[in-house]
Amino acid sequence: AKVLLQQLIENCSDWVMRDITDDDDAARRRTIERCEKMIKNPRQINESLWSSLLEMLWKGDIHLGIRLRDVAKITANRSPIYGGDGVKRLGNNKWSSSAWQLYLNDEFGHENFVIFIDEKTILVLMKVGAGDVDELKAFIHAHILHRCIERGTDASHRILLRRSHKITECLFEKGKIGIDLHSILSHAGWDMSRLYLGFSPWRCEWTNKDD
């Protein structure tokens, strides 16, 4: 999957990094249009079974489908979601219940996943009821964010998280700017009912602000 989406991920990370204050709809639209043209059919992708297997077994810096208790271990000592400047805003190194609710509802209240940042590692928590589209969306968002951190920037993790989330949403919301990437991949000949993106079976549950 990463081979298929590599150019798309790089293209989206370019938009996130190009100007941290730039939120121009036209620039996003051009980025998404380029992404759509980058989609290839299965016959155009050459990836060995061995490399695919290694990709699934070796977590690297992106952990897909972590357990809630794993997040609790990290947030007990520091603030991995907001990055270095988040600790100052929260006022201490431990996450209060209100801090948890603020983050979950503010950035991911409408999603079936939550992304955490621990230094250069991306942690993805999946919600109960998450499906194939949610996994694909979380997978792409995590890789765009990781690529931005990997490239290096003075921007805070919080800003990178918001901007990478924004461009990812454009890939899954068909409209004036966005497209339906899941359907585009399906029409290109990919079997979207059998996505093997490396997620664990773990699912967690939390409430949104409207619940």
In the structure encoding, which two tokens stand for residue 37, read together?
Answer: 């043209």
pLDDT at 200: 87
Does this model's pTM top 0.75? My answer is yes
pLDDT tens-place string over residues 124-157: 999 999 999 999 999 999 999 999 998 888 888 8
Alpha helices in 47-180 (DSSP H): 49-57, 68-75, 86-90, 97-108, 132-151, 157-170
pLDDT at 57: 52
Query: pLDDT in tens for each of the 211 residues of the chain?
Result: 667 788 999 999 999 988 666 677 888 899 999 999 999 888 887 665 445 545 555 557 898 998 888 777 766 655 545 444 443 343 345 556 666 677 777 788 889 999 988 878 899 999 999 999 999 999 999 999 999 998 888 888 888 998 999 999 999 998 888 999 999 999 999 888 877 788 888 898 865 554 4
Contacts 24+ apart (CB under 8 A), 41-47: 41/188, 41/189, 41/190, 42/188, 42/189, 42/190, 43/189, 45/3, 45/4, 47/3, 47/4
CA distance 35 to 56: 24
C-alpha dist (Å) from residue 66 to 14, 120, 123, 128, 203: 28, 16, 7, 12, 8
CA distance 130 to 59: 20
